[in-house]
Amino acid sequence: ERGKRMTTEELFQDYFTEEDVARLMGMSVSGLRNRISSGKDHPPFVGRGKAKRFPKADFKKWERARIVHQKNK
């Protein structure tokens, strides 16, 4: 519908929050923030300052690229 304003939920439906990503990575939000601020490997995000959003598709690509396959001994 023309002129309809999108809700915040609609705008960010394709994004994870910091809380979502921290839970998926098995760490605390502060651990995720530390990882980002120290330059350690972290999923791609958009935003500035404290308002970070992680595109779901990019997170899934980032996660798949880090799958470790163990060889049978």
- In this prediction, residue 40 carries a pLDDT of 94
**pLDDT above 90 for 4:** no
- Cβ burial of 72 (10 Å; 0-12, 13-18, 19+) is exposed
Half-sphere exposure of residue 59, counting CA atoms within 13 Å on the CB side?
18
Look at residues 61, 51, 60 and name the one whose alpha carbon lies nearest to residue 8.
Answer: 51
| pLDDT tens per residue across span 44-57 | 999 877 789 999 99
Contact 68, 35 (CB under 8 A): no
Look at residues 65, 59, 64 and name the one whose alpha carbon lies nearest to residue 22.
Answer: 59
- In this prediction, residue 56 carries a pLDDT of 97
| pLDDT tens per residue across span 11-37 | 778 999 999 999 999 999 999 999 999
**pLDDT confidence band for 1 (50 / 70 / 90):** low
Which residue shows structure tokens 């999108």?
6
Q: For residues 51 and 72, which has the higher predicted lDDT (pLDDT)?
A: 51
